[in-house]
Structures are given as C-alpha cells and as structure tokens.
Amino acid sequence: LNDLKKWFDENENTHERVCKILEAMVSKLPSSNLRIKKMDERILRSIHFMKNSENQNMNLKHISDLVSLSPDRFYHLFKQETGLTFRQFILHLKMVSSLHAIHNHHNLTHASHFGGFADQSHFIKTFKKTFGIKPSSIKK
C-alpha cells in the first residue's frame, strides 16, 4: 500500500516502480501465472512526456511527431499497448490532475481548471460520466 500511495502522490513514477506494484498485486491473486509485458519504448516515452508536460493542449500529431511515428501508426500502437485510445488517455490525465486538486482541498472551479477542462460544468459532467457520482460528493 505504501508503494501504491507513493505512486499516486509522486510525480516520479518510473516504469520499474509501476512494474513492481503490478507484480505485487498479481502475486496476491490465486494461482497467478501472469507476466508483465514490456511496453513499446515509443509509447512509454509518449506517456512520460504527456504526464510531465505543462501543456494541456496536447494533440495526436504533436505526440506522434515526438516519437517519430505517423499519427495513424501512433494511434493504433498506443491503443494496442495501453488498451486506451489517445483521447481516453488524455481525459484520464485530466481527471487525475483534477482529482489531485480536489485531494489537496481546492474548490471544484480550481480543480476543473487544474485538469485542463474548459469550465466547471464540463468537468462535472465528465466526472459524473466517468465515476457515476458528482465531484461535490467526494469533497464532503
């Protein structure tokens, strides 16, 4: 649990730390024979860049250029390696940023802007669609 908390709270999340957490979780499963597959290095680089970028207006073309892939190839490889589309992953990053702001006792307006949402209304709708509850219910 300490490793999981560090992974959530810290910005320095290495591939090794994530693998260690996943292996620990998998080892707790009954009769587990699962192996963790090494992710394509270009996708890892793109994820690292997106997680650490201050620019919240990332687009597929920019990220695919960064890892020297065509936008179509990057899109398909990203989906294959992560199980998420590029857009779903960007939305995930926005939600994580907003959740960090809420966790740090910021109001919903600040949380929505911190996550890169256009306005609070859009953030609330997206949050409810993603988690099935309104963000105000976790602030209590």
pLDDT, tens digit, for every residue of 16-63?
Answer: 766 676 677 666 666 555 566 788 999 999 999 998 887 766 899 999
pTM: 0.68
What is the rounded CA–CA span in Å between residue 85 and residue 65? 17
**pLDDT single digits (tens) 82-92:** 999 999 999 88
Distances (CA, A) of 64 to 103, 110, 116: 32, 30, 21
On the question of pLDDT at 99 being above 60, the answer is yes
3-state secondary structure of 121: helix
